């Protein structure tokens, strides 16, 4: 089994494992990485960009080097390489856990239990749920599903297509560091700068592929395309607006606007301003759309990696 075939087989198996098993409640490799990164942050923290850059380089570099060494050690065995790719793919993907959490909030909203929905929302995003009503909570969930489809599914698979198993794991390390130190709190404004900028760069291709695949998976592809191309760059994030605007058009709902995040109020541009407000029923529609986009991304990843490997083999 050649390397590109082993990776394609492993990626499909890892995706299936995420679909069937989701993330474990305890002992997830990403959580273990986060604990190690937090311990290193306590040692290296200084209120300077240089210190944060060193922290980011050490964390991401260690994961990338370790993954490359493991991949090299398995190079003589196709099954071992496929198993390594499967484990890495399962580790980095979060699509099943994402939709599970979204549906938990939806169930609470459908039951009229706003307190339970507000208590559960932080499992999906860092938005302050205290002032959100039923529709505001639904909007927050749909936006989180859209953004995290790009971050936790498509973005990881893109880097798998580009760089194999090391690309998968290094991307997840970058994404995790951004969640830990990339926000603009007083402690991390300078220290987290490098992690946030690296995440913007790493997430660029996945965000745009997510938007394209959302258009392809939509029942209203023309509307999804129109809203994405018009509103995708209006978002303050260089990447989040791509997926959110495409989801807005695909679902026929209005996203964006005012929100409370990290102790501050933000007035973000409206995405799909001519469309209707989000309702609770749209959460399930967003989850199903996310699943379709993930499957398309998996297919694109496996085919791209296999094709690139096959072409290299012919030239060799």
Question: Which whole number is the average pLDDT over 45-56?
Answer: 97
Q: Would you state the pLDDT for residue 261? A: 63
Let me know the angle formed at the C-alpha of 15 by 33 and 300, rounded to the nearest 5 degrees.
110
Q: Would you state the pLDDT for residue 1? A: 67
Helices (H) and strands (E) in the chain, counts: 12, 3
List pLDDT tens digits, range 70-110.
999 998 898 999 999 999 999 999 999 999 999 999 999 99
What tokens does 143 get?
């936006």
Report the side by side order of strands in the sheet with 253-261. 264-271, 253-261, 276-277
Answer yes or no: is pLDDT of 313 > 70.
Answer: no
What tokens does 181 get?
């130190």
Q: What are the Cα distances from residue 178, in Å, to 81, 125, 172, 208?
A: 29, 13, 10, 19
Q: Would you state the pLDDT for residue 75? A: 87
Q: Would you state the pLDDT for residue 117? A: 96
Enclosing H/E stretch for 246: helix 240-251
Q: Would you state the pLDDT for residue 262? A: 57
Taking the C-alpha atoms of residue 238 and residue 251, their distance in angstroms, rounded to an integer, is 22
List pLDDT tens digits, range 147-192.
999 999 999 999 999 999 999 999 999 999 999 999 878 899 999 9
DSSP 280: T
Question: Which whole number is the average pLDDT over 219-229?
Answer: 98
């Amino acid at each position: 089994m050649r390397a590109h075939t082993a990776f394609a087989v492993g990626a499909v198996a890892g995706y299936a494992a995420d679909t069937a098993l989701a993330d474990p409640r305890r002992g997830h490799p990403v959580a273990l990485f986060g604990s190690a990164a937090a311990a290193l942050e306590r040692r290296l923290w200084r209120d300077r960009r240089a210190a944060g850059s060193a922290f980011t380089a050490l964390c991401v570099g260690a994961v990338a080097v370790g993954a490359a060494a493991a991949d090299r050690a398995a190079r003589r065995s196709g099954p071992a390489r496929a198993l390594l790719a499967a484990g890495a793919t399962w580790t980095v993907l979060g699509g099943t856990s994402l939709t599970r959490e979204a549906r938990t909030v939806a169930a609470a909203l459908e039951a009229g239990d706003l307190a339970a929905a507000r208590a559960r929302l932080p499992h999906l995003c860092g938005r302050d749920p205290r002032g959100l009503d039923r529709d505001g909570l639904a909007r927050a969930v749909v936006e989180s599903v859209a953004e995290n489809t790009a971050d936790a599914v498509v973005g990881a698979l893109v880097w798998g297509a580009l760089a194999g198993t090391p690309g998968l794991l290094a991307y997840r390390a970058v994404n995790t560091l951004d969640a830990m130190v990339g926000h603009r709190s007083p402690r991390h404004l300078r220290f987290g700068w490098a992690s946030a900028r690296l995440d913007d760069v790493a997430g660029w291709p996945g965000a745009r592929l997510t938007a394209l695949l959302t258009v392809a998976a939509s029942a209203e592809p023309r509307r999804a395309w129109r809203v994405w191309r018009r509103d995708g760059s209006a978002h303050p994030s260089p990447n989040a607006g791509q997926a959110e605007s495409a989801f807005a058009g695909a679902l026929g709902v209005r996203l964006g606007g005012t929100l409370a995040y990290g102790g501050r109020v933000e007035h973000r541009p409206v995405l799909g301003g001519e469309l209707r407000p989000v309702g609770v029923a749209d959460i399930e529609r967003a989850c199903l759309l996310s699943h379709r986009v993930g499957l398309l991304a998996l297919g694109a990843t496996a085919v791209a990696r296999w094709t690139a490997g096959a072409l290299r083999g012919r030239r060799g």
